[in-house]
Amino acid sequence: MASDRGPPAGDPTLRRRIEPWEFEFSFDPRKFCKEACLLYEIQWGNSRDVWRHSGKNTTKHVERNFIEKIASERYFCPSISCSIFWYLSWSPCWECSKAIREFLNQHPNVTLVIYVARLFQHMDPQNRQGLKDLFHSGVTIQVMRAPEYDHCWRNFVNYPCGKEAHWPRYPPLWINLYALELYCIISGLPPCLQISRRYQNQLIEFRLILQNCHYQMIPPYILLATGMIQLPVTWR
């Protein structure tokens, strides 16, 4: 079975896959790696063919590199519908969010879904507004969860023989905390997730600081999913 051999040798994406350590390092929501990593999929029209590739920051952020690259490709036909899926180790900064919106405004046949492993400098009001504007302009933004980690591992990672099902299972706490904070960003609520780095960034502390508005506006199931809220809590 293919699952016993690693990615099939004839897999056209094989040379474009990233190494397991790189995936685990880049997409671990508990850690802070400086490098941003983008894994992306493109589907044209009704075709079932999926084009997969990865990107990194250069002198520009990876999102802008993607936009410049796809807009300049010969095969990019603005009249054909195009579905793009991004798996980003960091959410876009406000400048990239702006560039993404401009790109989508110019290419109305493109739909974009963004999964993020972490929120980039999420206390910065400009970054928060950028993500909020992206969401309200029709871009789907979600925090990567188990199905996305599984999908990326199988389709973007050069996993070792017999390790197809060994995608990294990060504890749900960090994923739920980022999902909660993303909800706050999209809803226009103040930040509730505080992240501090100590001892040369070796120790990263996640704290939840909730205000009344959070209890009033956030559905209880999202708060409870963090496992950091104790009942009984008086809602609203």
- Report the catalytic residues: 63
The verdict on 134 binding Zn ion (CB under 5 A) reads no
**At its nearest, how many Å lie between Zn ion and the CB of residue 17?**
24
The verdict on 93 binding Zn ion (CB under 5 A) reads yes
Query: Is it true that the peptide bond before 191 is cis, omega within 30 degrees of 0?
Result: no
Closer residue to Zn ion in complex, CB, 93/131: 93
Quote the CA–CA distance of 53 and 66 in Å, as a whole number. Answer: 10
Taking contact as CB under 5 A, which single stretch among the options 11-19, 95-103, 169-177, 228-236 is the one that binds Zn ion? Answer: 95-103
What is the DSSP code string of 137-190? TT-EEEE--HHHHHHHHHHHB-PPTT-TT------HHHHHHHHHHHHHHHHTPP
Q: Which residues pair with 225 in a beta bridge?
A: none
The verdict on 67 binding Zn ion (CB under 5 A) reads no
**At its nearest, how many Å lie between Zn ion and the CB of residue 137?**
17
User: 144: closest CA among 177, 166, 122, 111?
Assistant: 177
Quote the CA–CA distance of 79 and 215 in Å, as a whole number. Answer: 45
Q: Which of 17, 61, 107, 128 binds Zn ion (CB under 5 A)?
A: 61
Q: Contact 211/192 with Cβ under 8 angstroms?
A: yes
The residue to which tokens 């809602």 are assigned: 235
Q: Which of positions 149-168 make contact with Zn ion (CB under 5 A)?
A: none
Closer residue to Zn ion in complex, CB, 19/124: 124
**At its nearest, how many Å lie between Zn ion and the CB of residue 232?**
42
The verdict on 132 binding Zn ion (CB under 5 A) reads no
Q: Which of 37, 42, 96, 182 binds Zn ion (CB under 5 A)?
A: 96
Q: What one-character DSSP code corresponds to residue 4?
A: G
Binding-site ranges for Zn ion (CB under 5 A): 61, 93, 96
